[in-house]
Homo-oligomer: A and B are copies of this chain.
Amino acid sequence: MEGHPTLQLRIFDLNCWAIRYLSKRRQERVQLIGDMLRRERFDLVLLQEVWSEQDYSNLKVKLGGCYPFSHYFRSGVIGSGLCVFSRFPILDTLLYQYSLNGYPYMLQHGDWFCGKSVGLWGRHWHGGHGRFALPCCQLHAEYCREKDAYLPHRLVQAWELAQFIRHTSKAADVVLLGGDLNMHPEDVGIRLLRSWTGLQDAFTEATRFEGCEDGCTLVPNNCFTVKTELMPFPLGIRIDYILYKAVSSFTVKCEELKTTMGTAPGTDIPFSDHEAVMATLHIQRQGQAAGASLSTAELTLADVVTEARTEVGVGLRAAQRQRYSTGRMAVLALLLLLLQAVAALGALAGLAAGQPFPKLSFSLLAFLAIGVLLLATSLHLFHTIEVKMLQGTEEQMRMVLWALQEHP
């Protein structure tokens, strides 16, 4: 590798908001996205919320010429919504499903059905001289910032994502993470992810920036965003990221970062309710591995992990309460059923003359009790899983804190 040539890499990331029957002007927008990707010829394209496999297939056909390699990550009832297009061969893929992802009974928030996950794919560049690890992901949405019931779930996801990246990226030279993380830059989850993996934020590192103010990716200018949700943030919020790091003897520099600005360039409608993020990275091999000074970083890491652990603890106690109350409800329903069975048997045995209860309301009550029993039992099982996963994450965080203190 004489002269250490630079690899220029253009990456495109977009949450496409392509939900069948629900997203506005979906087909038109998917077509627009496809046209633009074909025109722009990026090196790597990371898409989220492509919920319909038909949309993926259409994109695949359209982009076959300039992005011969692609992958759609399947999971959950609806799918993961994640797909990737690449100019270079995809060597291998791995799907990691988060252990917690919202509640199945929150139908209006739908996250549970989506099987949110992180998809990893590796590829070689420049004839096999370097290797990427490229996670593409989406975390649980935030539906209410003031009273965010999903914060513990999102923190567990951020932690699992960080652990996944740490464990899978060790043989890579460069790690690139793109996706809708559903977290503001200063949120504990994103600080946890960044400090635990060492990933850098393309927006803060970029030499040149062009796009929405503060790099926001959910902006009031966009005609598809819900204006009331953005009320507290007049500029919008930044929740879509391209993050990167060099693992071995490489350096990565972000030369340019761009976002779309409410509408797709050259048209009057946006690609999606999110803005697209486009980064141009320069990757170069170095003689020496870039060993950053880690002592202050580790101090921050310990603080962030402690903060995240506290939040996970709050979620754990809430989950334990819910497990208890659903368990109690199931027991009560069971008792009612038993009582009814005793009463019915008593009536059959002729203890009472004639008919002691009106048959209809008696059977209605029994069916109600059965319904409550089934529902409460399912919820109890679900919250039991939730408690286990939160406990597991808290335990892992405790272990990391111990390791940071004992073996800095």
Contact = CB atoms under 8 A, between A and B. Distances in A.
A407 to B, nearest CB: 7
A75 B99 CA distance: 8
Interface in A379-399: 381, 384-385, 388-389, 391-392, 395-396, 399
A96 B93 contact: no
Contact of A399 (B93, B97, B388): B93
A167 B363 contact: no
Contacts of A92: 163, 166-167, 399-400, 403
Interface residues on A, range: 35 or more
Interface in A161-208: 163-164, 166-168, 170-171
B385 A76 contact: yes
A75 B359 contact: no
B77 A384 contact: yes
A372 interface: no
A315 interface: no
Contacts of A392: 73-75, 95
Contacts of A163: 92, 94
A79 interface: yes
Interface string A80-95: 0000000001111111
A403 B164 CA distance: 24
Interface string A351-376: 00000000110011001000000100
Contacts of A97: 97, 99
A8 to B, nearest CB: 24
Interface in A43-77: 71-77
A120 interface: yes
A76 B115 CA distance: 15
Contacts of A363: 360, 363-364, 367
Given A90-B399, A91-B403, A396-B93, A120 B167 contact: yes
A400 B71 CA distance: 13
Contact of A167 (B77, B94, B385): B94
Given A97-B97, A163-B94, A89 B389 contact: no
B99 A407 contact: no
Interface in A315-347: none
Nearest to A367: B367
A104 to B, nearest CB: 9
Contacts of A166: 92
A115 B385 contact: yes
A201 B360 CA distance: 65
A359 B381 CA distance: 35
Interface in A94-138: 94-97, 99, 113, 115, 120
A91 B170 CA distance: 15
B388 A94 contact: no
A268 B400 CA distance: 42
Interface of A: 71-77, 79, 89-97, 99, 113, 115, 120, 163-164, 166-168, 170-171, 359-360, 363-364, 367, 374, 381, 384-385, 388-389, 391-392, 395-396, 399-400, 403, 407
11 contacts: A74-B389, A74-B395, A75-B99, A75-B388, A77-B385, A89-B407, A92-B163, A92-B166, A93-B399, A115-B388, A367-B367
